[in-house]
Structure 1
Amino acid sequence: MRIWALPLALLTLAGCVTQSVPRRQQPRSPVAPFRIFVVDPLTLARQLASIQAGWPRSRKFDCARLKCVALTFDDGPGRYTAKLLDILRRRDVRATFFVVGQMVAADKGGRTVRRIADDGHELGNHSWSHPSLTGLSQQELKRQLKYTENIVQRLTGVRMRVMRPPYGATDDDVAAETRREGLAQILWNVDTLDWRDRVASIVAKRAGQAKPGSIILLHDIHGSTVDAVPAMLDALAKKGYTFVTVSELYGKTPAPGRRYTER
């Protein structure tokens, strides 16, 4: 690429942006549009390189043979996410983070979500404001997914391929919209109930009940959950588990619209 063309390319990149339920209702209030952040040229260059190289880079684990488990963290990024990322980096563990768009927008220009991507973790869409998606109109459902998709892609260059419906609430309409958006629905089969029981030892013990192929539900917005992670990793590693992202668990990007709870 000629030198004069690089700024133009960077500017172009910067502009890109289970259960049965009653009949869906129109939302009471519209979703607020996300903020627009100015990203420096160095960050944009890294984003461009990430897109060209493909993201995330799979470590090619064969989870048909290995005892794999996927740690997933919802509702962030929050005040404890940076500490969690430090722990995971020291242990060389990758996880999947299902982020909420409003939390990304409130996070100092997206510093934490960029670090999640830079550290090799997988990013997933957890809606813009965490409503039950089954209670929304089709238009509002689309906005919830699209606003979060746009802000994450703007800040990181990452096009997310997985999502988690808030509260695990999904139906045929949610499945259809996620299929149109190119997002697989990732649920779980191990619930640590860390949002209810804010005791690190209890959270770690529940995570230790995982089986090969499990997807473990956690929330990085709770300090007690982050405090539980070292003991959780120790206990599962002692049992011979390999920690992978959701896409690594399946060996490929899961199919859009389809619902997954474990391998």
Structure 2
Amino acid sequence: MRVWALPLALLALVACVTQSVAHRHAATAPPTVPMRAAAVDPAQLARRLAAIQPGWPRSRRFDCGRVKCVALTFDDGPGEHTGRLLDLLKQRDVRATFFVIGQMVAADKGGHTVRRIVQEGHEIGNHSWSHPALAGLSDEGVHRELQHTQDIVRRLTGVRMRVMRPPYGSTDAHVARETRREGLAQILWNVDTLDWRDRVPAKVIRRAATATPGSIVLMHDIHPTTVQAVPRVLDALGGKGFTFVTISELYGRPPVPGRMYTER
């Protein structure tokens, strides 16, 4: 293959469609998950893509001290509805932050969705391996939950995540200590759409629309009703003059490891 054709060939491989599977949480410690054999080794592909696009994921520059910025965040995926959400965000040229669960990444055969999240310029964050309340775990338990997810995302995408979200917002001093060791900032929220409880698009839209400059909005890409609400959420906030940014863009730089953030 000619050298100039390599990037096109690799990007075509990344675009291969695979089937998502249902979301499930596990209460046990995260196991080591072997990767399925494939025609192209995912780790090798991630290294080549990283070489083509150094500094991945790409970031834009915003002065969110002067511009009305809002960060839309989506938890618990990737799931069967994440692809549709990515389509909607791409149509509007909107970037968001996805806090992924390691087990869901492992279940997404071939890592197609997680690679697409990164390739399309979204930020990706660690939401643990199996979605436990981290404050109830030992230091070693917190380390395992974070490290397993760090490892699989880096293996598939070449990206080392810099932000995390503790499941249920469950955090304490020892969670802060472990996230600092892992180089991860703790990202919470100040606008909760409660889309996991009230799976009614109109309610999700109404709550998201309460965002103020610097807000971090919590949603979940595993619920079809949330994905259905997203276009009107974008209309409502866009109509108020908001600029949609990732978490790192909201702060202008990667947030400080271990520190907890709820808004700008």
TM-score by length of 1: 0.87
Secondary structure of the corresponding residue to residue 221 of structure 1? coil
1:108: Cα distance to partner?
1.3
1:42: Cα distance to partner?
4.8
Distance 1:43 1:182, change over 3 A: closer
Greater CA drift, 134-143 or 110-119: 134-143
1:8-157 paired onto structure 2 within 5 Å = 29-37=28-36, 38=38, 39=41, 42-50=45-53, 53-157=54-158
CA distance in 2 between partners of 1:111 and 1:69 (Å): 27
CA contact (8 A) 1:75 1:100 kept: yes
Say how many residue pairs are matched. Answer: 237
CA contact (8 A) 1:48 1:157 kept: no
TM-score by length of 2: 0.86
1:161: Cα distance to partner?
0.1
Identity rate of aligned residues, in percent?
66
RMSD, matched Cα: 1.7
CA distance in 2 between partners of 1:44 and 1:167 (Å): 33
Corresponding position of 1:180:
181
Unmatched segments (≥5 aa) in structure 2:
4-26
Counterpart of 2:59, as a letter, is S
Unmatched segments (≥5 aa) in structure 1:
4-27
Counterpart of 1:58, as a letter, is S
CA distance in 1 between partners of 2:125 and 2:203 (Å): 26
Corresponding position of 2:21:
none
Counterpart of 1:202, as a letter, is K
CA contact (8 A) 2:29 2:145 kept: no
CA distance in 2 between partners of 1:201 and 1:133 (Å): 32
Corresponding position of 2:250:
249
CA distance in 2 between partners of 1:137 and 1:109 (Å): 32
CA contact (8 A) 1:80 1:220 kept: yes
Corresponding position of 2:216:
215
- Please list every run of at least 4 consecutive aligned residues from structure 1 whose deviation after the TM superposition is greater than 4 angstroms: 40-43
Counterpart of 2:88, as a letter, is I
Counterpart of 1:73, as a letter, is F
Distance 1:43 1:180, change over 3 A: closer
